[in-house]
């Protein structure tokens, strides 16, 4: 029997994928399909999650599967399939392996869903979402990457820890690629509307900015085996919720640029407005010269990995 509930497919039933499924279910955002390449793995995770429904009070259906037919007519697809980093690895080290995975996953998804909204999480993020757009043929409003919400959440956390204030009062903006060259924006980071530049010394802000840039690596170093998943999962669900509830929230997301911020044919972290139609607007901020220069450096890094994706696609 078909359902009128939203259908959220999560590809990859690993750490990030399971967290996304769990939080989406807890928020009753829709039925969730968890798909993975490993037989039994998504089925086990899905059943375990379903059995928590009467305790966490949700009645969404959670399906675990290895068959893409079960993903048919998804409203939103979250792609988390791929390898995570090991200590010492950069996100770019994952490129060749994850490109193959993201390509095949996107092809399979598009066989069964005509016009889904896709959110890519697999790393290296900016290159993987570029690849998924090329393979899917989706419009730029319907495909995006999750990075800025997470990077901003890290900066918000570090600011709150430094000031000893509630992290719910801190807001932040992080632009650029999801790598070491990302551009945290102290000028647009506030505590209940007060810019942090009025609350902290410049040297302290520099340290927090640096920690944000290396926030993913810090977790990888501590875990030794795998990368962050709780804050990434929560960041994805914030985007999923904004889309399905048509909240029209303004969030930093990885979006396709056509001239904004001086860059084209590139996926890049910028503030966007998202709602039921996906990315409804890219918001262009007036940057200082130094901010634009930092953004250009980041864009050049992203272009490099995107060019590698183009080369890989040309070969096959």
Catalytic site positions? 178
Binding site residues, ligand APR, CB under 6 A: 11-17, 36-38, 80-85, 94, 98, 101, 104-105, 121-123, 226-227, 229, 232
Q: Which is nearer to ligand APR, 14 or 30 (CB)?
A: 14
| Beta carbons within 10 angstroms of residue 292's beta carbon | 15
Instruction: For residues 267 and 177, give the distance between their C-alpha atoms in angstroms, rounded to a whole number.
Output: 8
Q: Which is nearer to ligand APR, 93 or 310 (CB)?
A: 93
Instruction: For residues 167 and 156, give the distance between their C-alpha atoms in angstroms, rounded to a whole number.
Output: 6
Cβ contacts of residue 25 below 8 Å, gap of 6+? Answer: 32, 49, 52, 53, 56, 58, 60, 62
- Closest residue to bound ligand APR by CB: 14
Q: Which is nearer to ligand APR, 196 or 237 (CB)?
A: 237
Record the tokens describing residue 135, joined without a space. 């393979």
Q: Which of 140, 145, 199, 147 is CA-nearest to residue 169?
A: 199
Q: Which is nearer to ligand APR, 37 or 285 (CB)?
A: 37
Question: Which pairing describes strands 62-65 and 31-35: parallel, antiparallel, or unpaired?
Answer: parallel
Q: Which of 191, 147, 201 is CA-nearest to residue 167?
A: 191
Q: Which is nearer to ligand APR, 83 or 160 (CB)?
A: 83
Cβ contacts of residue 51 below 8 Å, gap of 6+? Answer: none
Give the nearest distance from C-beta 24 to ligand APR in angstroms. 15
Residue 181 DSSP label: T
Give the nearest distance from C-beta 31 to ligand APR in angstroms. 19
Give the nearest distance from C-beta 258 to ligand APR in angstroms. 26
Instruction: For residues 267 and 284, give the distance between their C-alpha atoms in angstroms, rounded to a whole number.
Output: 15
Give the nearest distance from C-beta 1 to ligand APR in angstroms. 27
| Beta carbons within 10 angstroms of residue 296's beta carbon | 16
Give the nearest distance from C-beta 257 to ligand APR in angstroms. 22
Do the Cβ atoms of 49 and 22 come closer than 8 Å? Answer: yes
| Beta carbons within 10 angstroms of residue 240's beta carbon | 26
Q: Which is nearer to ligand APR, 68 or 256 (CB)?
A: 68
Give the nearest distance from C-beta 151 to ligand APR in angstroms. 12
CA distances from 78 to 120, 143, 162 (A): 6, 10, 33
């Amino acid at each position: 029997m078909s359902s009128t509930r939203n259908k959220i497919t999560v590809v990859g039933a690993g750490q990030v994928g399971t967290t996304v499924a769990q939080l989406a279910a807890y928020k009753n955002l829709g039925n969730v399909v968890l798909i993975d390449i490993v037989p039994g793995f998504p089925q086990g995770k899905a059943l375990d999650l379903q059995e928590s429904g009467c305790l966490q009070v949700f009645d969404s259906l959670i399906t675990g599967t290895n068959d893409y037919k079960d993903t048919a007519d998804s409203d939103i697809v979250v792609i988390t399939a791929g390898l995570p980093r090991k200590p010492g690895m950069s996100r770019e080290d994952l490129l060749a392996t994850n490109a193959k995975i993201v390509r095949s996953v996107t092809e399979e998804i598009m066989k069964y869903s005509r016009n889904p909204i896709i959110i890519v999480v697999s790393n290296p993020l900016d290159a993987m979402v570029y690849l998924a757009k090329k393979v899917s043929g989706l419009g730029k409003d319907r495909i995006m990457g999750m990075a800025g919400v997470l990077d901003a959440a890290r900066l918000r956390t570090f600011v709150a820890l430094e000031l000893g204030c509630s992290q719910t009062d801190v807001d932040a903006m992080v632009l650029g690629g999801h790598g070491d060259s990302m551009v945290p924006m102290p000028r647009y980071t506030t505590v209940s509307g007060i810019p942090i530049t009025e609350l902290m010394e410049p040297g302290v802000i520099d340290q927090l900015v640096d920690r944000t840039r290396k926030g993913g690596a810090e977790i990888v170093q501590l875990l030794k085996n795998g990368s962050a998943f709780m804050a990434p999962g929560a960041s994805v669900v914030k985007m999923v919720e904004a889309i399905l509830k048509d909240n029209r929230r303004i969030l930093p997301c990885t979006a396709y640029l056509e001239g904004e911020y001086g860059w084209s044919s590139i996926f890049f972290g910028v503030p966007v407005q998202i709602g039921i139609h996906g990315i409804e607007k890219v918001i262009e901020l007036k940057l200082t010269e130094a901010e634009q220069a930092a953004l250009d450096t980041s864009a050049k890094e992203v272009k490099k990995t995107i060019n590698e994706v183009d080369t890989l696609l040309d070969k096959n």
